[in-house]
Amino acid sequence: MTNIIKSNAREILRDEIDSRGIKYSWVAKRMGYSYQQKLTNVLNGRDKFTGDVAIRASKALGVPLEIFLVKS
């Protein structure tokens, strides 16, 4: 299976959050996670950065989904 998620997607997401000065708990809630630890686990590499995470992050932050995807 081809990986469609950029290898640096975690860093892109972290940079988006940090540059806006918003709290991880707020982002996690907007992504539909009931607890902040899920987002923290994704950002720290304990959980996989999946297509679902990319979609949730895109919607929560109002950024294009393509910033997380490999260009074909």
CATH number for the domain spanning 21: value is 1.10.260.40
Assigned domain for 1 exists: no
Assigned domain for 2 exists: no
Assigned domain for 4 exists: no
The two tokens of residue 9 are 């997607």
Which structural domain, as residue segments, surrounds residue 18? 9-68
Assigned domain for 59 exists: yes
pTM (2 decimals)?
Answer: 0.92
Domain count within the chain? 1
Question: In the predicted model, what is the mean pLDDT of the chain?
Answer: 95
pLDDT digits (tens, 9 = 90+) for 18-50: 999 999 999 999 999 998 999 999 999 999 999
Assigned domain for 13 exists: yes
